[in-house]
Structure 1
Amino acid sequence: MPQRALNIPVCRDCDGFSTAAITTGTRNTDGTRKTLTVTCPACKGSGRSLPAPALIRAGR
């Protein structure tokens, strides 16, 4: 019997990929690249979004 998929709302800004590692272009002393870890400001790193209340969607 097939399993049902969970209907979890995904963040529209990051599409569920809430953190990203960005290289700075410099290297550490052992030769690896220095990276910055950046989180999505919209979902604050959770990857999920909450639905807007009905009054906000209606523009009131």
Structure 2
Amino acid sequence: MDAKEPVEYDRYTAADLSPELLQRIVTLEEEIKNATEKDVVLIAYEESQHNPT
């Protein structure tokens, strides 16, 4: 791998969301779980400012 290319996990950080938006994500996870009977985890990321592509 070329050292100049960003490492995939280094390109993104956890999104800075308000408590209200975080609660909406949790609620949506629960709705999907109830509909599918499967555990679901939704993750919000944003592009890192220190290493954008």
Give the structure with higher Rg (CA): 1
Q: Normalising to structure 1: TM-score of the pair?
A: 0.29
Greater share of strand: 1
| Higher RCO structure, 1 or 2 (CA under 8 Å, sep 6+) | 2
TM-score using structure 2 length: 0.30
